[in-house]
Chains A and B, each alone.
Chain A
């Protein structure tokens, strides 16, 4: 069993829709939770960073962490074609990041 499970999709939504992405994990030692965005032919870049449980909002993006369920989510409101990318969840307990497989999202104009 992988430490971090993420549905690879692909996910296709119309412009303006809410995109919902999620990951589950098995390691209860994870304390830091991140979402990276990766455009085609580019390296991943950090999108959101959350410590422990709770919600964090940044513009159209909301990250949620539920440590009791070992479940994290990323919501993208009013999605735009420029949001089309692969979204990877990542989490860390000590010195190593563990990544999900990534979900490829396409926002149709």
Chain B
């Protein structure tokens, strides 16, 4: 089945460490997204990419960076992790539809990150 996968699924790290979360998809979609989910705050967009050469900041990009290595791969980095980056992180993909708007977003299983 075409899918969205994320690695690692769980990660515990210490303040100041550099962390990379990886996302791969076999759906052939052009658009990829990184979200974080916090209790009571829902899903918030960190970064998004409409193709390999297109990277855009979302609403909470400070402290994060991304790399779109290929159409199928989109990684999220925390250069110097801090405790308030403890959250559930989701990667999502979508396909560009009519009028340039995307259709349904398909989410990966999530990465639970804890920063001590």
Contact = CB atoms under 8 A, between A and B. Distances in A.
Interface stretch (A14-22, A53-61, A73-81, A92-100): A92-100
Greatest chain B CB density within 10 A among A43, A92, A94, A100 is at A43
A43 B90 contact: yes
Interface in B7-29: none
Interface string A66-109: 00000000000000000000001010101111011110000000
Interface residues of B, number: 23
A99 B101 CA distance: 17
A42 B6 CA distance: 12
A41 B90 CA distance: 11
Counting chain A residues whose Cβ lies within 8 A of the other chain, the interface size class is 20 to 34
A42 B45 contact: no
A42 B111 CA distance: 10
B34 to A, nearest CB: 12
A44 B108 CA distance: 8
Interface of A: 4, 6, 8, 32, 41-46, 49, 88, 90, 92, 94-97, 99-102
Interface of B: 4, 39-45, 48, 50, 58, 90, 92, 100-102, 104-110
